[in-house]
Every structure is written in C-alpha cells, then in structure tokens.
Amino acid sequence: MATGELMTGAEIVLKALADHGVEHVFGYPGGAVLPIYDEIFQQDKVKHILVRHEQGATHAAEGYARSTGKCGVVLVTSGPGATNAVTGLTDALMDSIPMVCLTGQVPTHLIGNDAFQECDTVGITRPCTKHNWLVKDVNDLARILHEAFYVATHGRPGPVVVDIPKDVQFARGKYVGPKNIEHKTYRPQVKPHQDAIRAAVDLIAKAKRPLLYTGGGVINSGLVASKLLREFVKLTNIPLTSTLMGLGAYPAAGKNWLGMLGMHGTYEANMAMHDCDVMINVGARFDDRITGRLDAFSPGSKKIHIDIDPSSINKTVQVDIPVVGDVAHALEDIIRVWKAKSHELDKKAMAGWWKEIDGWKATNCLKYKANKDVIMPQYAIERLYALTRDKDVYITTEVGQHQMWAAQFFKFEEPHRWMTSGGLGTMGYGLPAAVGVQMAHPKSLVIDIAGDASVQMTMQEMSTAVQYRLPIKIFILNNQYMGMVRQWQQLLHGNRLSESYSEALPDFVKLAEAYGCVGLRAEKPSELDDKIKEMIRSPHPVLFDCRVAALANCFPMIPSGKAHNEMLLGEDVSDEEVGSAIDARGKELV
C-alpha cells in the first residue's frame, strides 16, 4: 500500500507490526478487537498465537522477548482481556522486559458509560506499564504505535499498552512509517559520562578485594554486553556473582563464577559480597532478595553502580560512583580506559582474596542429603542438567523452591537461556513463557522447571502448546506442597502448615493425555534418568510428574533480617534451628 493512502485503524496496526519486524503476536480475540483479528486473518506476515488466557499471552511474550532480545507483542480485547493481562504487564515492568500490549477498547462514544466489557484500561495499567496510550483519533494511531515500540525497547526496557477503541480500528486514516521515529521527550541516557568511567576505573585499580555483581541489565543490554563482561573479567581476574535475573551473562563454567548471591545464593557469593572492598554493580538494582539486611549489606565496600535508570541509583543503597548508561557502553568504556592506563590489580592482594574465596567455596554450600528411595529435588535438577548439557536448551521456571533449586543447580553458560519471574515472583509464569520461547526457537529444547502448585495456575496453556505443536517440556518437581510457603511456615510460624498442602492434585500423567500430549512420571531415583531421556526424546509437549521429597527445604538461605555472613547452610540444619532462625523483627519482613 502506497504511503499517504488511507487505511483503516486495524490495517494500520498490522502494517505497523510488520514494519517493526514483528513475526509473532500472542493474543486472544474478543468483541473490541474483532477488526484487528479480521486483518490478521487476511495477511501472513504476522503470525498470531492463540493462548487460553490473556495472562498466558503476556508471559509467552515475556519468554519470547527474553530469549530473543526482541520486543514481545500481545493483543487482547477490552475489559477482562485487559485486566487479565495486568499480571503479565506488572511482571514485565518489574523484570524490565520489552513488551507492546495492544488492547481493544469500547468505541470512543461509549467510553465512560460502563459499556459491556469496558474498563478503564489506561487507568488500570498506568502503574504497571512504562507508559500507555489511549488512541482517540485514527490519525494518531501509527505515530503512537511507533512511539510504543520505541519506549518499550529503549532505555530500561518495559511493557507499554496501546488502548485502541473499536471505532478507531474501523476509521480510516493516514499511515506514517516508523522511520526516524523517536519520542519527542523520552531520551534515556545510553552513553555514560566519561568522568564517572574514569573514577570507576581508578577505584577498581586500587581494589584489593573487588567483586563484580551483575544483573538483568547485562542480559537486556544484549549479547555484546555479556561478551564485554567476560572480557573484563578475563582482563582483571575479578570474581563475579550474579542476581537471579543475570544468570548466564557470565558462564557458570567460568573460573571466576561464584554462583548466584542473595537469599538463596551461594555461601561464597554472599561472603564475598559481605567482605569485598570494591563492589562493581553492573545492571542490578540492589533488590531486597539480594541485599538482605541493608545496614549490614557489604559494609566495608566502595560501590560502583552501572545502571541505565537513574532512579535505580541510590534508591536503596548509597553508592560512591554512579555510572548512568547502558551496560555495554559502560563496560566498553571501562575496558578501554583500563587498557589505556595499563592498570593491573595488586597481585598479592588478589591472590589472598581468591584464597579466601576458595575457602568459602570449600564449604560446598549446595550439598544436600542424598537419598536412594526418594528423589531429592536438587538431585532431579542435577540430573536434568547433566542429561541436557549437550543440547540447545532454554529453561523457564515458575516461582518457589523449584525456581531457587533451578537457579542453584542448573548451570547457564550463555545469556537469554534462563527465563524466570524475578521481581514480581509470578507463579504460573513458566509454562506460558516456555510457549513463547519455543515459538521463537522451534528447534531448541525448552524446559519449564515447575512446581506442582505453580503449574496449575496457567496449566491451560498446554492446549496452546499442543495446538501449535510446541514440544515444551514441563518438568514438575511435585512435592505436593507450595514448597516455599511451607518452608516459610516452618521458619516463621511454628510449622503450622496453613493451606500450603496441595490437596486434590490432578494425575498429571492423565492430565497430559487429556490435553493430547505426553505424560511421564518418576517416583524413584533409579528411574529418573531413563524418564528424563524419554522426555527429551519426545517430539511432543510433555508433562513430567517428578515426585520428589515432600519436606525438603531450599538452602542455603539468608533468613529475613539477617546479614550475608549469617547464612543458614543446608545439610546440617536441624528442624529446631530452622524454626528459630528468624527473630521477631525479621518475621515482619517479606
């Protein structure tokens, strides 16, 4: 269609999606988006994936975005379509995932009339999006759509909503292309100030016990950022730990890797964080799961914080050298200045620092009591990892104990391989996220490491997987509890397990068969390997019911209100110690 020609709003939507290179849209139709669905029917550039619930569409788009680095796109109807998308939008906001969500709206003349399937979508989604728009004039539609993609993907990425009334979808207007589109006011700072870079380099050069603390920002910044991070580590031999969101930016097989830090991080990572003298935060945000007790968080260190969002700096932890900018740019500059000044860290001090770290590593904090009769959840993930090592594998998770065990026991060598709900902690994220990941990587092995409670929250998306022949593997660590809730009840509430038992669980194998996919079950450690191999071999979606020890706790753990050097280590902790690990003050914390 020639530029300048009049198009309907619905045509403009599809044209804009195609112009932004969108190949997949996750959505669910309804009255207020029928014109757009009619356009989808009549074209073949943009493929629509029909989910079973709008929340599933948002998580699928998140998985798609996080595994590709591209923007996820969601299309839902007005009212319940939009409200069902709210959880996924909030999840994407918390984890900085680029997402454009298009919502249908009742015709403009009905807005405010309590019309059928009307809700105040922009009002409801204002606090859970980076920005949102209600399009009242079809001639604004193309510009707003381009702006939406710009805002979602530039600066700190995040979700945006474009709310399009049905009459605007029918109305005819002009289409303008996305060339040179930038927002008239939104200008995130990408290049860091060179003064800050020089100050950071000077501080690192004098460090005797430096530590890199990396986060999701490295992943969001793109593959170059991970490459530069690895280069910098190689250049300096600084030990490195990462947040949950940052796993894979530095390879788990790398010799400087200390494991994840924070509440369920490794002993060595948390001790190093506590005792370092220069902390280099690269694209992380001092989340409370990381810092634990703030007044005892890394008390002796000078802190450098690289973040693209100025509001992240000094929000919870006061830092000495803020570096506002994109991680890749900042690392590139730091490496350049480092090399130009021929810096080298104090060899003797570094040898001592590494010796200390090796001492902490020797604690072997992830060890657990092996069992010949019952599958330990940690063992299940170790085996899953071992048996998929040579595969092109992507992992998603739900939220809870299984998520932490996955983070501890599955090793990631590359970025974009690990999709999990970190900030919002959304149970039910992993299955639809796996759908999105598999859509983007049809040939890869996509596994959702799940829990028996979480997986039931979005189970209906198995139907989506079957419809689109997406061979996702749902590996359920079934302990018949909301394990993390149960663990906290044991920690805080005298082991009174209020409502945390998974009563009336479905037979997951039969459920799989009912959906038309494959169901597998493993109950003994001896059969686990064979069943996992069977799962991997299957060309179909698989629900894997892995029956694991019911009452295992996730360790190591920094109990609420405690410092990094006050961790509970796993193997030898008695039930009494677990029951008294958190004091009265810590109980109030989340």
Partner 1 sequence: MDKVVASSQPQSAYFLDMSKKEVETHTLAVVADNEPGVLARVIGLFAGRGYNIDSLTVSETIHEKHVSRFTIVTTGTPKVLTQIKHQLERMVPVHSVADLTVQGNSIARELAMVKVAGTGEKRMEALRLADAFRARVIDASTESFIFEITGKPDKVDQFISLMVPIGLVEVARTGVAGISRGAEGMRV
Find the shortest distance in angstroms from Cβ 583 to partner 1. 12
Find the shortest distance in angstroms from Cβ 318 to partner 1. 5
User: Please, which residue, 135 or 453, has the CB nearer to partner 1?
Assistant: 135
Type of residue found at 49 = I
Quick one: how far is CA 90 from the chain centroid? 12
User: Please, which residue, 78 or 90, has the CB nearer to partner 1?
Assistant: 90
The beta strand positions in 78-190, using DSSP E, are: 99-105, 131-134, 159-165, 172-174
Give 584's Cβ-side CA count (13 Å radius). Answer: 0
**Cα 83 from Cα 159, distance rounded (Å):** 15
Q: What is the dihedral of CA 71, 37, 181, 156, to 10 degrees?
A: -30
Residues 6 or more apart whose Cβ sits within 8 Å of residue 340: none
Catalytic entry in 439, 462, 484, 567: 484
Tell me which residue has tokens 């810590």. Answer: 586
Neighbours of 311 (CB within 10 A): 9
Catalytic entry in 15, 166, 303, 531: 166
Contacts of 43-49 with C-beta under 8 Å, sequence gap 24+, read 43/14, 43/18, 45/14, 45/17, 45/18, 46/14, 46/17, 46/18, 46/22, 47/23, 48/24, 48/75, 49/24, 49/25, 49/435, 49/439, 49/464, 49/468
Indicate if 166 belongs to the active site: yes
Indicate if 484 belongs to the active site: yes
State the residues that interact with partner 1 by CB under 8 A: 122-123, 126-127, 130-131, 134, 151, 155-156, 183-186, 286, 288, 291-297, 299, 309-311, 313-318, 560-561, 563, 565, 585, 589-590
- Spatial strand order of the sheet with 518-522 comes to 418-419, 393-397, 445-451, 473-478, 542-547, 518-522
Find the shortest distance in angstroms from Cβ 39 to partner 1. 26
User: Please, which residue, 309 or 356, has the CB nearer to partner 1?
Assistant: 309
Q: What is the dihedral of CA 16, 51, 541, 543, to 10 degrees?
A: 140
**Cα 381 from Cα 373, distance rounded (Å):** 17
Find the shortest distance in angstroms from Cβ 437 to partner 1. 29
Find the shortest distance in angstroms from Cβ 580 to partner 1. 19
User: Please, which residue, 181 or 335, has the CB nearer to partner 1?
Assistant: 181
User: Please, which residue, 89 or 375, has the CB nearer to partner 1?
Assistant: 89
Find the shortest distance in angstroms from Cβ 288 to partner 1. 4
Identify the DSSP state of 180. T
| CB contact at 8 A, 152 and 24 | no
Find the shortest distance in angstroms from Cβ 306 to partner 1. 16
Type of residue found at 559 = P
Identify the DSSP state of 557. B
Indicate if 499 belongs to the active site: no
Catalytic entry in 5, 43, 116, 524: 116
Neighbours of 183 (CB within 10 A): 15
Indicate if 130 belongs to the active site: no
Residues 6 or more apart whose Cβ sits within 8 Å of residue 497: 481, 486, 489, 490
Indicate if 117 belongs to the active site: yes
**Cα 89 from Cα 97, distance rounded (Å):** 9
User: Please, which residue, 126 or 336, has the CB nearer to partner 1?
Assistant: 126
Catalytic entry in 39, 54, 147, 461: 54
User: Please, which residue, 134 or 196, has the CB nearer to partner 1?
Assistant: 134
Find the shortest distance in angstroms from Cβ 315 to partner 1. 6
User: Please, which residue, 528 or 563, has the CB nearer to partner 1?
Assistant: 563
Find the shortest distance in angstroms from Cβ 149 to partner 1. 13
Catalytic entry in 70, 117, 315, 460: 117
**Cα 569 from Cα 408, distance rounded (Å):** 14
- Spatial strand order of the sheet with 257-260 comes to 257-260, 240-242, 210-214, 278-282, 302-307, 321-324
User: Please, which residue, 130 or 209, has the CB nearer to partner 1?
Assistant: 130
For residue 541, say if its preceding peptide bond is cis, omega within 30 degrees of 0. no
Catalytic residues, by residue number, are: 54, 116-117, 166, 484
